Amino acid sequence: GIYIDGKPYAGFVYDVMADVLYHAKVGEGAFRGNQRLEPLRSSNLRQSIIGINPNWLTKPVLGEIFKEIVNDSRSARAYGSAALEIVSVATGNLEAYMTPRLQPWDFAGGLVILNEVDGQASNLLGEPLTIGGPNSVLVGNRGVHREILDVYLEPHRDALIQLH
């Protein structure tokens, strides 16, 4: 991602295996190659395929919180690349992606692309992501992002604050 004075300017994510470049410039839309990505449709968790690294399901506190989300979703996937998982949300192949810790270089490019299709992004507390250091990350379409925050994460806010 390219940020100027801390503000997003452009984002790029290259899928090496598929030889596809995802890209966006703020205010000009997001693209898969030359194909414009459509704005995301809202969904609820029960309809949704979410991205999550299964390793987090084994951790105390987070594991219990994340297991509830995974159990109530349609299905869960792990691609092994945060950037590709965020782009998968931007394309509608996933409805949400969450992880308790990412460095800015892992999410900055995908975040610009996601924003251009009306995707939602925050940390697990619902606060804006920052590019100055590591963040927990929750991205999704408008409906599932809000549902995960309100129904699943907010009741565990005190525990999540301790983990930040």
Q: What is the pLDDT of residue 58?
A: 84
**In the chain, what are the domain boundaries?**
2-163
Q: How many CA atoms lie within 13 A of 41 on its CB side?
A: 5
Task: State the burial class of residue 79 (Cβ atoms within 10 Å of its Cβ: 0-12, 13-18, 19+).
Answer: middle
* pLDDT tens digits, one per residue of 131-154: 999 999 999 999 999 999 999 999
Per the CB < 8 A criterion, the answer to whether 121 and 138 are in contact is yes
* pLDDT tens digits, one per residue of 82-117: 999 999 999 999 999 999 999 999 999 999 999 999
**Residue 106 known to bind ligand:** yes
Top-tier CATH class for 2-163: alpha beta
Query: What is the separation of C-alpha 1 from the centre of its chain, rounded to a whole number of angstroms?
Result: 15
Query: What is the separation of C-alpha 87 from the centre of its chain, rounded to a whole number of angstroms?
Result: 8
Six-digit token string for 98: 């969450």
Candidates 10, 6, 40; CA nearest to 24 is 10
